[in-house]
């Protein structure tokens, strides 16, 4: 070799162009020597494109390669031992296997060892150790170093163990890329082809230890060598540079390469490239002054660099979209002339995609896509989770939601509701036919067919795994074959082609490309697993973890599907060519420059210890210090400098002042430095409405604001109406414009349904119940939701308070039947007979509950609790009967078609009627004499509902009085004695010192006091409660036998007035119902309203803040005022 050439210069000065020109010149010579351009792996494609354009119509003898490509070519020529080279995917598989095998030995990282992020971090660190040439022994020396803290030592001990196990596993059968580079360096001298080769190395700003070894050998072998490095001026070998300088790494590399040349007695020259001065003057000033610590502000006119802060990231992104559209429409830019760069794509990806679609800007996201989220990968992980989690609900639904099984979305939704309603989980339940949906046999059969379709491929996979199992484990190759068989059974390849065709038809090119590649990626993972771990035996859980780790690490790179599009990338990944305009977003603290996350397994204190131990070392430990400490700390500055100097005409730099949650953000030092040099760009003043017109979709939002201002009387201009007319004349926008105007005049109120809709729902004869009518009185909208269109919450497998109440009712209704079978009554039953009756009644009630719910431990606990509470309630009811003269006469008296009594029929008008169904829990009778008999209506309540005369008056409590009226109309010989609620609750007794058992019993009975209304006759009250103390009913007597003030009583005439009032109220409610009333106007009485616990609030969206939303506020009335109003009604 004549001499080694070093081409140095600033970013964009023309170093790459120098290489291209040199290759071009070499091609014109009459020689057939190979011409190689060696670039970083990630720049390979872009460099090939650029060089191919320059050397049109083809590359001829020129070839673009990377270090890995060079290794393959050299080994192909000179041969090497049959050792497989493993890349990052294989490394992750081996590391996961090593961690699983040594998990008992891991101490400090025990909690983290199953996290994918931890495995990736360990992989990165081991890679750094290999790049620095640090051996296991040298890592061990760091552990023994006195300057290492105890915490750091414990971390290094775990890592050392894993590093050693990793290398032992590799043995002589595998070699990493880094070790492969060492083998390449030792093989270069054997290559004949390289002797005639002219080599250019471009695109690097530093080299690893192994790469330097290769370059050292290439210097001795190739015919000519040119190396480019970025720096601000030519440096000699002895020049000193501080390690915080952005070009430090490049300068250090140049000095090392010079030293290698001198060691080998090779001539070299350093050529500094200044550039052709094609940049705008302000941009050229930025390039020359940005790195200087005390640069002066730019004094000339600046039309190239724009600095701006925005209130939020969304606003920032929208302004960028507007600027891009403006540059294209007004300044003749093409989309491929521009790029958008951010510090963290995760913060901006969704916003950029949304805004660019809205503004019709074609774009390409330069990011590797994780295959972990792909449906086919999720299906593979899902089926393994099903098998290892015993068919849990979460795993089954996760598998089904991938939509890779031949089950429709409708069937999946139906099945999910069924699983939740009946609490189905576990293999035992899944493998048995289901029969819980007894009311709908057709639906049950349909669900069982779906169950069998799901089970088919899963059970086949499970059987295959069982057949190849030995001592509870399977070979990796057998498990992988079984999984491939599962893919065939579900028709995964055909399904994938359908997905690809769908995305192609929809024009979603990126998703089409992703799904085109996914099958190959999965097969690659399978092949790597079999190659590395094929004959190893693992249990299914370990295999699942290794497979998930492998999938989580595989990334999918997508080639830009079109030429003319805006490139969106990140500072640390994207390599930009020279562009006319560059947008740098999110120059916020901690983002640009980015906080170092290279080695998350070490804290800052750990790194300080490492630096203390290694910084003076000139060998591998010193190189480790550079890779772990210096490069992450200072290397980011160079990346930022490169980004800032890519634009040739315009540079836009912006920062958001708050994140999506409103948390304040600060601008970074980068923004501050640019602001100091060029000043912040003043925000443009709001122009006329024409300046807001960009693309139809975003402009449509602006039209909405204009219309709102016009409606509110704040807009006087007329020109905007032409814009509205444009949308009105376009067919594709007419419906949207109508929707917009509807929204402007939106109200959540619809007071009445259309007449035909009402007739379809209810007809002229309304079949309803008392509880439904009470719901309608509370809120018409709630009634329509619940009973009109039958909207309901998803049923869940749980035993809630309402179901417990049903159990109580069933037990209390069954108890008298059990007494009858024992030939006894409420008041005559012995204590043992009562206990036996309660036990049998509760057992009967439990039998009525769904079998699936009866099997749960929680229900069995609830059933035992219900038995105790029922026993207390029975004792209280028995005590009530013994304390009075009333006797039970009827139970479960039903009003309805085919029941004991016909439905209660109330005429609304000549045509329409309302039929009310219901059930009286118990009717008691008191025989005063042969001519007078009084009845007591008793209704069991498991809730907190108490009798309230005011609520009865307003129609909020209809039940007791309507039942009384209906019963008396059927039995004219009876008179009203009282109507009461009996609360089934679990009373707590306040114990006082010295209380005996009798006192405790009396205190307990008070908790079961009836709530209701009694007739105002002392004899009847005495028949209800002999004691007259009010312990049984809400009525107390004075010593003289008169009724105490405040007692809940009414005269027979008042009872009649109440009954008539209830009938009129129901008639009025029925009329409103059949007229289609559905307005969201809930009642409010004494601060009480039904909205607090209403499940439909998110549908009606009732709020007093809305103009036409208000409560039906009911006037507070005293008892006297209520009776006075009722008497007036009676007249």
Q: Of 83, 72, 82, 86, nearest to 191 (Cα)?
A: 72
- Tell me the C-alpha distance between 859 and 846, whole Å: 9
Q: What is the pLDDT of residues 645-663, one digit of tens each?
A: 888 899 999 999 998 888 8
Residues 866-873 have a mean pLDDT of: 85
Q: Position of tokens 């003030």? A: 1045
Look at residue 257 in the predicted model and tell me its pLDDT: 93
Residue 293 counted as domain residue: yes
Residues 82-109 have a mean pLDDT of: 85
Look at residue 402 in the predicted model and tell me its pLDDT: 93
DSSP string, 821-884: HTT--TTT--HHHHHHHHHHHHHHHHHTS-HHHHTSHHHHHHHHHHHHHHHHHHHHHHHHHHTS
pTM (predicted TM-score): 0.75
Long-range CB contacts (within 8 A, 24+) of 207-211? 207/253, 208/131, 208/132, 208/178, 208/181, 209/131, 209/132, 209/133, 209/620, 209/623, 210/130, 210/131, 210/133, 210/178, 210/181, 210/182, 210/185, 211/67, 211/181
Of 153, 171, 189, the one marking the end of a domain is: 171
- Tell me the C-alpha distance between 1095 and 716, whole Å: 44
Q: Which of the 8 DSSP states describes residue 1037?
A: B
Q: What is the pLDDT of residues 407-452, one digit of tens each?
A: 999 999 999 998 888 888 889 889 888 887 767 888 889 999 999 9
Question: 454 and 531 share a domain?
Answer: yes
Contact 679, 297 (CB under 8 A): yes
- Tell me the C-alpha distance between 52 and 482, whole Å: 46
Look at residue 341 in the predicted model and tell me its pLDDT: 93
Of 276, 308, 333, the one marking the end of a domain is: 276
- Tell me the C-alpha distance between 1034 and 1036, whole Å: 7
How large a percentage of the chain has pLDDT more than 90? 35
- Tell me the C-alpha distance between 335 and 363, whole Å: 8
Question: 65 and 146 share a domain?
Answer: no
Look at residue 77 in the predicted model and tell me its pLDDT: 85
In this predicted model, which residue has the larger pLDDT, 1078 or 1105? 1078
Q: Which residues fall within 8 angstroms of residue 54, CB to CB, at 6 or more apart?
A: 20, 24
Q: What is the pLDDT of residues 1006-1036, one digit of tens each?
A: 778 899 999 998 889 989 998 888 888 999 8
CATH number for the domain spanning 344: value is: 3.40.50.300
Q: What is the pLDDT of residues 444-478, one digit of tens each?
A: 899 999 999 999 999 999 999 999 988 889 999 99
- What is the number of helices (H) and of strands (E) in the chain? 43, 28
Q: Which of the 8 DSSP states describes residue 439?
A: T
Contact 528, 93 (CB under 8 A): yes
pLDDT band of 81, cuts 50, 70, 90: low
- Tell me the C-alpha distance between 180 and 529, whole Å: 21
Residues 24-40 have a mean pLDDT of: 86
Question: 355 and 388 share a domain?
Answer: no
pLDDT band of 810, cuts 50, 70, 90: confident
- Tell me the C-alpha distance between 283 and 303, whole Å: 10
Residue 800 structure tokens: 């809630």
Look at residue 942 in the predicted model and tell me its pLDDT: 77
pLDDT band of 378, cuts 50, 70, 90: very high
Q: What is the pLDDT of residues 778-797, one digit of tens each?
A: 999 999 999 988 888 887 76
Q: What is the pLDDT of residues 235-278, one digit of tens each?
A: 998 888 887 787 888 898 999 999 999 999 899 999 998 866 55
Residue 1024 counted as domain residue: no
Question: 139 and 185 share a domain?
Answer: no
- Tell me the C-alpha distance between 430 and 448, whole Å: 10
Question: 400 and 523 share a domain?
Answer: yes
Other beta carbons within 10 angstroms of residue 1032's beta carbon come to: 24
Residue 1045 counted as domain residue: no
DSSP string, 622-678: HHHHIIIIIHHHHHHHHHHHHHHT-EEEEEEEEEESB-TT--B--B-HHHHHHHHHH
Of 536, 556, 576, the one marking the end of a domain is: 556
Question: 568 and 615 share a domain?
Answer: yes
Q: What is the pLDDT of residues 938-973, one digit of tens each?
A: 998 877 788 999 999 999 999 999 999 999 988 888
pLDDT value at 857 more than 70 = no
Residue 894 counted as domain residue: no
Task: Say how many domains are in the chain.
Answer: 5
Residue 964 structure tokens: 């009384």
Q: Which residues fall within 8 angstroms of residue 353, CB to CB, at 6 or more apart?
A: 363, 365
To the nearest 10°, the Cα dihedral for 1014, 1019, 1024, 1026?
A: 140
Half-sphere exposure of 958 (CA within 13 A, CB side): 29
Question: 551 and 410 share a domain?
Answer: yes
pLDDT value at 613 more than 80 = yes
Residue 798 counted as domain residue: no
SS3 percent helix, strand, coil of the chain, rounded to 5, is: 50, 15, 35
Look at residue 592 in the predicted model and tell me its pLDDT: 84
Question: 519 and 422 share a domain?
Answer: yes
Question: 471 and 572 share a domain?
Answer: no
Residues 1107-1118 have a mean pLDDT of: 89
Q: What is the pLDDT of residues 523-576, one digit of tens each?
A: 999 998 898 888 889 999 999 989 988 888 887 776 666 778 999 988 877 777
Residue 484 counted as domain residue: yes
pLDDT band of 855, cuts 50, 70, 90: low
pLDDT value at 1000 more than 70 = no
Contact 311, 657 (CB under 8 A): yes
Question: 487 and 580 share a domain?
Answer: no
pLDDT value at 858 more than 70 = no
Residues 368-372 have a mean pLDDT of: 80
Long-range CB contacts (within 8 A, 24+) of 1084-1088? 1084/1111, 1084/1112, 1084/1113, 1084/1114, 1085/950, 1085/951, 1085/954, 1085/956, 1085/1113, 1085/1114, 1085/1116, 1086/1116
Question: 269 and 414 share a domain?
Answer: no
Residues 808-833 have a mean pLDDT of: 89
Four-residue CA torsion sign, 548, 552, 554, 555: positive
pLDDT value at 991 more than 60 = no
Q: Which residues span the domain enclosing 714?
A: 689-744
Contact 1091, 1102 (CB under 8 A): yes
- Tell me the C-alpha distance between 611 and 631, whole Å: 12
In DSSP terms, 1049 is beta-bridged to: 1014
pLDDT value at 308 more than 90 = yes
Q: Which of the 8 DSSP states describes residue 786?
A: I
Look at residue 347 in the predicted model and tell me its pLDDT: 87
CA angle 25, 27, 32 (to 5 degrees): 135
Other beta carbons within 10 angstroms of residue 571's beta carbon come to: 23
Q: What is the pLDDT of residues 397-407, one digit of tens each?
A: 999 999 999 99
Question: 733 and 619 share a domain?
Answer: no
Plot region of 359 (φ>0 → left; ψ -120 to 50 → alpha; else → beta): alpha
Q: Which residues fall within 8 angstroms of residue 137, CB to CB, at 6 or more apart?
A: none
- Tell me the C-alpha distance between 635 and 205, whole Å: 10
Residues 331-360 have a mean pLDDT of: 91
Residue 1005 counted as domain residue: no
Residue 915 counted as domain residue: no
Contact 548, 381 (CB under 8 A): yes
Other beta carbons within 10 angstroms of residue 921's beta carbon come to: 19
Q: Which residues fall within 8 angstroms of residue 948, CB to CB, at 6 or more apart?
A: 956, 957
Q: What stretch of H or E contains 609?
A: helix 604-614
pLDDT band of 1, cuts 50, 70, 90: low
Contact 623, 213 (CB under 8 A): no
């Amino acid at each position: 070799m004549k001499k080694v050439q070093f081409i140095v210069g600033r970013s964009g000065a023309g170093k790459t162009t120098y290489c291209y020109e040199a290759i071009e010149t070499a091609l014109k010579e009459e020689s057939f020597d190979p011409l190689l351009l060696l670039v970083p792996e990630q720049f390979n494609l872009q460099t090939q494109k650029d060089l191919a354009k320059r050397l049109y119509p083809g590359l001829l003898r020129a070839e673009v390669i990377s270090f890995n490509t060079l290794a393959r070519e050299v080994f192909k020529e000179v041969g090497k031992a049959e050792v497989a080279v493993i890349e990052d995917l294989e490394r992750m598989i081996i590391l996961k296997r090593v961690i699983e095998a040594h998990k008992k030995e891991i101490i400090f990282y025990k909690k983290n060892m199953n996290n994918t992020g931890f495995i990736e971090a360990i992989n990165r660190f081991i890679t750094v150790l290999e790049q620095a040439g640090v051996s296991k022994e040298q890592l061990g020396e760091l552990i023994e170093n006195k300057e290492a803290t105890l915490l750091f030592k414990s971390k290094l001990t775990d890592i050392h163990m894993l590093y050693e196990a990793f290398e032992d596993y590799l043995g002589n059968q595998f070699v990493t890329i880094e070790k492969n580079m060492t083998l390449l360096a030792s093989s270069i001298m054997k290559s004949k082809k390289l002797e005639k080769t002219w080599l250019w190395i471009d695109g690097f700003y530093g080299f690893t230890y192994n790469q330097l070894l290769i370059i050292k050998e290439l210097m001795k072998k190739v015919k000519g060598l040119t190396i480019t490095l970025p720096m601000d001026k030519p440096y000699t070998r002895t020049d000193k540079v501080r390690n915080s300088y952005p070009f430090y790494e490049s300068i250090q590399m140049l000095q090392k390469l010079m030293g290698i040349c001198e060691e080998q007695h090779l001539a070299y020259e350093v050529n500094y490239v200044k550039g052709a001065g094609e940049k705008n003057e302000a941009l050229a000033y930025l390039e020359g002054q940005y790195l200087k610590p005390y640069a002066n502000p730019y004094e000339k006119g600046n039309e190239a660099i724009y600095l701006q802060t925005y209130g939020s990231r969304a606003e920032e992104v929208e302004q960028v979209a507007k600027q891009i559209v403006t540059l294209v429409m007004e300044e003749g830019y093409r989309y491929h002339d521009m790029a958008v760069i951010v510090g963290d794509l995760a913060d901006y990806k969704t916003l950029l995609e949304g805004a660019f679609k809205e503004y019709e800007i074609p774009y390409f996201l330069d990011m590797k896509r994780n295959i972990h989220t792909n449906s086919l990968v999720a299906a593979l992980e899902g089926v393994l989770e099903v098998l290892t989690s015993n068919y849990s609900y979460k795993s089954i639904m996760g598998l089904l939601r991938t939509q890779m099984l031949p089950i429709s979305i409708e069937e999946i939704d139906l099945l999910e509701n069924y699983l939740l309603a009946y609490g189905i989980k576990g293999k035992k339940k899944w493998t048995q036919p289901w029969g819980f949906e007894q009311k709908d046999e057709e639906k049950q059969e349909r669900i069982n067919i779906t169950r069998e379709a799901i089970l088919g491929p899963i059970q086949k996979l499970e059987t295959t795994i069982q057949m190849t199992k030995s001592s509870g484990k399977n070979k990796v190759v057998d498990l992988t074959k079984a999984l491939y068989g599962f893919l065939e059974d579900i028709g995964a390849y055909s399904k994938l082609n359908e997905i690809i065709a769908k995305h192609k038809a929809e024009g979603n090119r990126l998703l089409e490309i992703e799904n085109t590649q996914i099958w190959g990626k999965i097969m690659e993972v399978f092949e790597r697993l079999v190659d590395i771990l094929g004959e190893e035996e693992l249990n299914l859980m370990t295999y699942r973890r290794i497979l998930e780790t492998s999938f989580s690490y595989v990334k999918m790179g997508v080639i830009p599907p079109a030429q003319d599009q805006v490139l969106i990338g990140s500072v640390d990944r994207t390599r930009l060519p020279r562009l006319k305009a560059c947008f740098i977003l999110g120059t916020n603290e901690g983002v640009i420059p980015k906080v170092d996350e290279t080695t998350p397994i070490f804290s800052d204190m750990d790194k300080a210890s490492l630096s203390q131990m290694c910084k003076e070392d000139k060998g591998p430990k010193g190189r480790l210090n550079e890779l772990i400490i210096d490069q992450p700390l200072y290397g980011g500055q160079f990346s930022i400098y490169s980004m800032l100097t890519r634009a040739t005409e315009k540079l836009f730099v912006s920062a958001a002042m708050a994140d999506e949650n409103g948390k304040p953000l600060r601008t970074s030092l980068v923004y501050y430095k640019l602001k100091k040099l060029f000043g912040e760009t003043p925000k443009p003043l709001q122009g006329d409405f024409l300046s807001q017109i960009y693309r139809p979709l975003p402009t449509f939002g602006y039209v909405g604001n204009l219309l709102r201002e016009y409606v509110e009387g704040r807009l006087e201009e007329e020109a905007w109406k032409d814009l509205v007319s444009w949308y009105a004349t376009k067919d594709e926008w007419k419906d949207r414009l109508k929707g917009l105007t509807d929204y402007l005049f939106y109200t959540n109120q619809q007071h009445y349904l259309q007449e035909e809709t009402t007739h379809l729902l209810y007809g002229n004869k309304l079949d309803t119940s008392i509880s439904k009518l009470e719901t309608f009185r509370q809120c018409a909208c709630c009634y329509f939701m619940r009973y009109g269109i039958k909207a309901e919450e998803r049923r869940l497998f749980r035993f809630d308070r309402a179901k417990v109440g049903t159990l109580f009712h069933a037990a209390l209704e069954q108890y008298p039947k059990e007494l009858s079978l024992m030939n006894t009554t409420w008041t005559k039953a012995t204590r043992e007979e009562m206990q036996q009756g309660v036990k049998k009644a509760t057992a009967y009630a439990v039998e009525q509950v769904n079998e699936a719910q009866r099997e749960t431990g929680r229900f069995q606990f609830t059933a035992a609790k219900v038995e105790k509470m029922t026993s207390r309630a029975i004792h209280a009811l028995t005590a009530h009967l013994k304390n009075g003269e009333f006797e039970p006469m009827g139970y479960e008296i039903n009003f309805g078609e085919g029941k004991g009594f016909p439905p209660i029929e109330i005429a609304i008008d000549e045509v329409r009627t309302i039929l009310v169904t219901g059930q009286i829990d118990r009717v008691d009778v008191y025989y005063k004499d042969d001519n007078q008999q009084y009845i007591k209506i008793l209704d069991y309540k498991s809730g907190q509902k108490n009798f309230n005369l005011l609520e009865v008056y307003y129609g909020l409590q209809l039940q007791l009085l309507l039942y009384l009226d209906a019963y008396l109309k059927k039995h004219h010989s009876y008179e009203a004695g009282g109507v009461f609620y009996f609360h089934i609750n679990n009373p707590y007794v306040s114990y006082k010192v010295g209380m005996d058992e009798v006192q405790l019993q009396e205190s307990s009975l008070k908790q079961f006091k009836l709530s209701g209304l009694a007739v105002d006759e002392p004899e009847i009250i005495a028949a209800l409660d002999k004691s007259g103390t009010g312990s049984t009913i809400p009525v107390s007597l004075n010593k003289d036998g008169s009724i105490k003030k405040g007692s809940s009583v009414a005269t027979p005439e008042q009872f009649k007035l109440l009954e008539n009032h209830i009938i009129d109220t129901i008639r009025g409610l029925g009329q409103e119902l059949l007229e289609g009333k559905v307005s969201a106007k809930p009642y409010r009485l004494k601060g009480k309203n039904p909205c607090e616990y209403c499940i439909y609030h998110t549908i009606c969206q009732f709020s007093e803040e809305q103009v036409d939303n208000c409560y039906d506020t009911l006037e507070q009335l005293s008892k006297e005022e209520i009776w006075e109003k009722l008497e007036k009604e009676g007249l």
